[in-house]
Structures are given as structure tokens and as C-alpha cells.
Amino acid sequence: MSDPNTLQTITDFAEQLAVEAGDLVRRERDQNTLRTDYKQQTELVTHADVMADEFITGAIRERFPDHRILSEESMPDLSQAEELETPLWIVDPIDGTVNYAYGHPQVAVSIAYAENGQVQAGVVHAPFPGETFRATRGEGATLNGQAIAHSGATVPRQSLFATGFPYTKDNLAPLVDRLNAMIHQCRDLRRIGSAALDICWVACGRLDIYYETVSPWDFAAARLIALEAGARAGHFGDVPRGYPEDLWGQDILISAPAVWEPVRSILRSASGYD
């Protein structure tokens, strides 16, 4: 699957699925009273999440029956990311479910394709503004077909950053320490509510910095898009030996290249890592 033409075809397929799933979730919110439930008593999930998940994963299984799928709603087994022999699809049918339920526009469908633990294709589609971010490894990143690039920010003090917070609130102290350090050393904070869009907004220059701890389905596609847009992506914490960096969601940091190292230092110091 390393042939660029094949990867472009896979990216096209992922974009088609993301756009069609986006149409589905937009219609569900526009036409119906949302049905909601909770996962693990804290995390909101809507009927549209499940419908979009079934649509995307069903189409992948039909076209690529031998591939594996890591999906937030139906197959959230993170051990899938450690089995590198078979191609892996990483799917988030609605990233920003709380935004979705409250009628906010910052909602995205995220689909990534990985080989040997390395993401090769990624699509993030925002159905309400009608924006589609996509990237194929080595081919650059686009927004609605137009090439995008990071902001070129050079110092944290003049940089706009985004982050998020977990549904469970029992260990917020380290996050508050990081936020306190960042808010004092950067321009300002934006809390968008979708990790995939946070990262894509770094990719196209609407944000300068993003950091958080999230799951692979939240960031896998967007991370490749940011990299292909020239941003720098890594971690301010340590990645376990042997775990694919493209799929490790702990302590992610993605930013314009010039501010990555100084921001990493800020976050490591605030986290007590140094």
C-alpha cells in the first residue's frame, strides 16, 4: 500500500466517507430532536454518533475486509494501535459531540488510515461550515482543495493556543498547572471543543499551538494534516518504547515549528517532567 497513487485513492475514499457521514450528522441535528446517552456515566454520545459510525465502518469493511478498524463508538480497543502488521483505520464519527448536542458548529468527522503504525492518509470534515481538511503523506495538506500552511508564529508570547479537558474531573490539578503556565506566557487561549479541528486550525494558521491528552481517533488524521502543512508534531511527555508515535495520545504538542521547543519546555516544567 506504499504506492502514492494507491494512497491517494485511499484518501479519496476517506474523504467521500467523511463528507457523507457529515451530511448524515448534519441532517440528524437539523431535522430531529437529538437522542443522547452517556458512556461510562460521563461522556455524552448521540444517536447520530452511532449512525455515522455504522455507516463509516460498514463501508470500510465492505471495501477492505482484511483491514482493522479502531473506532471511538463501536471498536474503541486501543490495543489495535499496537498491532502493526495489518492496515488500520482510525475513525471518530463525531469529534465534538458536546458541541454537536448544543448546536455549536465546531464538529468534525475524522478518518485516518495507517500502515505499520504510521498514518498515511487523513481527512477531517467539518459539516456545518463545509470545510474538508485532507492530507496524504508526502503530498501536502489542503482545505477544500487549496493548499494550507501553519501560521509561522515565532514566539509563544504572540501565539494563540488551544487545549481541552477530560470528561472526568478527578485529576485536573496537572492540567490547571499547564494552563496557568501557558496563559501567562502566550497571547491567549481558545477552547474549541474538537481536538481534530484544533489541530487542523494549527495546520491552516488559525491557531499557533495545540496541546492535550486525547485518544487516537481524536487526533490521528489531523496530526498528519498538520505535519503535511509544515507544522511540528510530537509530545512534551515520553512515548513508550515501541509504541507508534503517530498513535500515542498522551501529552500531544502540535504547533508552528519555531515555537514548538519553547512551548515544550513550558509544558514539561509545568508538568514536573524536568
Domain that holds residue 102: 4-147
Q: What is the mean pLDDT of residues 39-50?
A: 68
Looking at 127, 147, 167, the residue that finishes a domain is: 147
Q: What is the pLDDT of residues 78-99, one digit of tens each?
A: 777 777 789 999 999 999 988 9
Based on the domain organization, do 174 and 255 belong to the same domain?
yes
Among the listed ranges 30-39, 112-121, 140-149, 224-233, which one has the minimum average pLDDT value? 30-39
Q: Please classify residue 55 by burial: count the beta carbons closer than 10 Å to its beta carbon, then call 0-12 exposed, 13-18 middle and 19+ buried.
A: middle
Q: How many domains does the chain have?
A: 2
Residue that is written with C-alpha cell 471511538 in the block: 72
Task: Provide the whole-model pTM.
Answer: 0.93
pLDDT grade, residue 41 (50/70/90)? very low
pLDDT grade, residue 1 (50/70/90)? very low
Looking at 118, 147, 176, the residue that finishes a domain is: 147
Based on the domain organization, do 177 and 60 belong to the same domain?
no
pLDDT grade, residue 242 (50/70/90)? confident
Which segments are annotated as binding site?
72, 92, 94-95, 218
Based on the domain organization, do 81 and 193 belong to the same domain?
no
**CATH value at residue 32:** 3.30.540.10
Based on the domain organization, do 174 and 198 belong to the same domain?
yes
Based on the domain organization, do 243 and 178 belong to the same domain?
yes
Based on the domain organization, do 73 and 180 belong to the same domain?
no
Based on the domain organization, do 143 and 163 belong to the same domain?
no
Which segments are annotated as binding site for Mg(2+)?
72, 92, 94-95, 218
Q: What is the pLDDT of residues 105-140, one digit of tens each?
A: 999 999 999 999 999 999 999 999 999 999 999 999
Among candidate residues 36, 25, 39, 70, the one with its CA nearest the CA of residue 167: 39
Based on the domain organization, do 23 and 143 belong to the same domain?
yes
